[in-house]
Amino acid sequence: MKEHAVHKVVHIRPLDDAVGHEESADCLCGPVGENVYARATTQVFGMIYRHHALRPCHSWEASAEM
């Protein structure tokens, strides 16, 4: 039986920034993407995008793409 790879995408975005941030790798802040690997293998399990605040922010949100 062949296993299907699960690929999840999560965005960590500031909520109280000067601009709104798109839940996208193409957001104007230029988020950095980082692969997440399954613990027992080198297979990519998902991606986390960390968005950049344009001003100091105190409130952040992590949300998964559907």
Identity of the residue numbered 23: E
Whether 13 contacts 60, CB under 8 Å: yes
26 against 60, higher pLDDT: 26
| Locus of tokens 């100091």 | 56
Q: What is the DSSP string of 8-49?
A: EEEEEEESSSSS---SSTT-TT-PEEEEEE-TTSS-EEEEEE
Is pTM beyond 0.85? Reply is no
- The chain-wide mean pLDDT, for the chain, equals 85
Whether 60 has a pLDDT exceeding 80, the answer reads yes
Quick one: pLDDT band at residue 66, thresholds 50, 70, 90?
low
